[in-house]
Amino acid sequence: MTLYMIGIGLNDEKDITVKGFEAIKRCDEVYLETYTSQLKCEYSALEKYYGKKIVLVDRDIVENKAEETILKNAKDKNVAFLVIGDILAATTHVDIFLRARKENINVEFIHNASVLSAVSIVGLELYKYGKTTSMPFPQKSYRPETAYSVIENNLKFGLHTLVLLDLDPENKKYMKISEAIEFLFDIEKRHGKGIITPTTKCIGCVRLGSPEKKIFVASTQELLKKEYENDVQCLIIPGTLHFIEEEMLEYWKKNS
Amino acid sequence: MTLYMIGIGLNDEKDITVKGFEAIKRCDEVYLETYTSQLKCEYSALEKYYGKKIVLVDRDIVENKAEETILKNAKDKNVAFLVIGDILAATTHVDIFLRARKENINVEFIHNASVLSAVSIVGLELYKYGKTTSMPFPQKSYRPETAYSVIENNLKFGLHTLVLLDLDPENKKYMKISEAIEFLFDIEKRHGKGIITPTTKCIGCVRLGSPEKKIFVASTQELLKKEYENDVQCLIIPGTLHFIEEEMLEYWKKNS
């Protein structure tokens, strides 16, 4: 039988592709991975629309117990493994694919939108982004400075940086744009390289891929003062801008 | 009325999202942009499945005549503007959005898969790609060396490079992986920096996002000798590899 790895997009139950929807209909078991991202709609809306019971699976099940659950079922049933956004964007999904193949399970991929292309809506050319980075929730003794050095390197080459902000969807915790800027200011204070100053222009995005998305274009100090809802967020530090990129940022400045 | 900018995915008529499909059903006019990419299926399959006549539009219409056609219609009708892959990934689509808004036309976005996330199937972590680059068809007197220098820069930081190969879908012309490697060898000969040697390991992909995709993992000299079908292709030069990335490349080496 087949393990269908299906991206379900970024917002709600109707962001699935027709191909994905038809595949789910053929499945006896449907799993949804709940720890790397979060939709705007409730899980019950998915169940209702797909007409299937959905088993929610956390990191422990996917990474440590898939052999006894998902993969065991996929040996003699059609099984759907749903991923918010596109499939395989996270290492944890590559890993489950490889483990399925080791067990000789047939795997089919059904792609969907990911934040990495949905960010195109901001209007910065996708080819002009450098390495993507993320900003993890601060740990007690561990304060990673990766985002800062990635931004620094990208800026050297005039490239934009997408900073994905940490999220803990199972506990409904989302890092806010203002927190991310505070962390960057902190790192800047220690390094003093002038990479992130109060007047650095940046773009804060909430819930990309959704009709309810918010795109704020402003200086870091202005974005720091805003109130943000409790939802998936990211921050973009633009590099060198082409005139059509400038025009699009002006548009969002007036229409955020 | 509304201009729906709808990504239709990478392979065939069923890669559209349910949301996109429902939006098309509400539209009086449906346009498909034909110059930035190409599906695996015929346009007639889209018309049949969507149940709508589709007007194919080339670069000249979108960039120079949209005001008299697409945008004029969108003032008093619901109009769909279909884009292969995701919307807004190309500057030409950002431009038509801005022009629509200048005419006060309401615009809705419906995202879909793009090659930039579908490439995750190769198994290299998306966050570890540096700047994306492209390899244009060679012009008489113009031989751009951008791809070479982007690869060089990315490798300095251990980052992967996605090289999108040029295509001219209206004339069914697709640059082949072997041609791209030849161009890179040519540039290497002039610069002699040892960036692209005959033993450089790389990944050649044909028709990503499709069940008929091909993923070849080999040295440049091996990829140079292969025969490729006439279809959308790209080339990846990997940077530093994590063990799960290595494992995935080994998988494709055995299962291409």
Residue A18 pLDDT more than 80? Answer: yes
pLDDT attached to residue A138: 83
pTM of the model: 0.96
Residue A228's alpha-carbon distances to A213, A232, B3, B25, in angstroms, are 12, 10, 29, 35
DSSP string, chain A: -EEEEEE-BSSSGGGSBHHHHHHHHT-SEEEEE-SS---SS-HHHHHHHHTS-EEEE-HHHHHHSGGGTHHHHHTTS-EEEEESBSTTSSHHHHHHHHHHHHTT-EEEEE----HHHHGGGG-S-GGGB---EEEPPPPSS----HHHHHHHHHHHTT-BEEEEEPEEGGGTEE--HHHHHHHHHHHHHHH--SSS-TT-EEEEEESTTSTT-EEEEEEHHHHHHS---SS-EEEEE--S--HHHHHHHHHHHH--
> What band does B225 get if pLDDT is binned at 50, 70 and 90?
very high
* Pairing of β B201-206 and β B214-219: antiparallel
Neighbouring CB atoms inside 10 A of B77's CB total 13
> A114 and B117: CB-CB below 8 Å?
yes
- Three-state SS at B231: coil
- How does residue B130 score in pLDDT terms, banded at 50, 70 and 90? very high
A18 and B19 within 8 Å at the Cβ level: the answer is no
CB contact under 8 A, A89 and B126: yes
Cα dist from B95 to A245, B66, B87, whole Å: 10, 11, 12
Q: pLDDT value at position A90?
A: 85
CB of A7 closer than 8 Å to CB of A113: yes
Nearest-CA distance B251 → chain A (Å): 8
Q: CB contact, 8 Å: A238 with chain B? A: no
Listed range (A199-203, A237-241, B87-91, B120-124) with the worst mean pLDDT: B87-91
Q: How far is B56 from chain A (nearest CA, A)?
A: 22
Percent of chain B surpassing pLDDT 90: 93
Stretch among A5-14, A35-44, A216-225, A228-237 having the lowest mean pLDDT:
A35-44
In chain B, count H helices and then E strands. 10, 12
Q: Given a cut of 80, is residue A197 above it in pLDDT?
A: yes
State the nearest Cα–Cα gap between A162 and chain B, in angstroms.
10
Contacts of A227 (CB under 8 A, 6+ apart): none
User: What's the CA gap between B81 and B30, in Å, rounded?
Assistant: 6
Q: How many CB pairs under 8 A join A and B?
A: 156
pLDDT at A256: 81
Average pLDDT rounded to a whole number, residues A79-108: 94
Task: State residue B49's pLDDT score.
Answer: 97
- pLDDT, residue B17, reads 98
Interfacial A residues in 93-112 facing B (CB < 8 Å): 94-95, 98, 101, 108-109, 111-112
CB–CB of B10 and A113 under 8 A? Answer: no
Asked if B165 reaches chain A (Cβ–Cβ under 8 Å), the answer is no
Which of A132, A209, A248 shows the shortest C-beta gap to B111? A209
User: Residue range A167-191: average pLDDT?
Assistant: 95
For residue B31, pLDDT beyond 80: yes
Chain A's closest residue to B91, CA to CA, is: A125
**B113 at interface of A, judged by CB pairs closer than 8 A:** yes
Q: What is the pLDDT of residue A116?
A: 93
Q: Cβ–Cβ of A16/B14 closer than 8 Å?
A: no
Q: Give the pLDDT of residue A141.
A: 73
CB spacing of B88 vs A120 below 8 angstroms: yes
Band of pLDDT at residue A202, cut at 50, 70 and 90: very high
Length of chain B: 256
A208: amino acid identity, one letter: L
pLDDT value, residue B27: 98
Residue numbers of B between 207 and 226 with CB closer than 8 Å to A = 209, 211
Kindly state whether B134 is in contact with chain A, defined as any CB-CB distance less than 8 angstroms: yes
The pLDDT score that the predictor gives to residue B142 is: 73
Please answer yes or no on whether A248 and B211 come within 8 Å at the CB atom.
no
pLDDT tens digits, one per residue of B151-177 = 999 999 999 999 999 999 889 999 999
In this prediction, residues B42-70 reach a mean pLDDT of 95
pLDDT band for position A89 (cuts 50, 70, 90): confident
Cβ–Cβ below 8 Å for B251 and A101:
yes
Spatial separation of the C-alpha atoms in residues A115 and B15, rounded to whole Å: 18
> pLDDT exceeding 70 applies to what percent of chain A?
100
pLDDT of residue B141: 73
CB contact B130 to A (< 8 Å): yes
Can you give the pLDDT at residue A142?
Answer: 73
Using the predicted structure, report yes or no on whether residue A53 has a pLDDT greater than 90.
Answer: yes
Q: Do A15 and B15 touch (CB under 8 A)?
A: no
Q: Tokens 């809306």, residue?
A: A45
Q: What is the complex's ipTM, to 2 decimals? A: 0.95
CB contact under 8 A, A159 and B131: yes
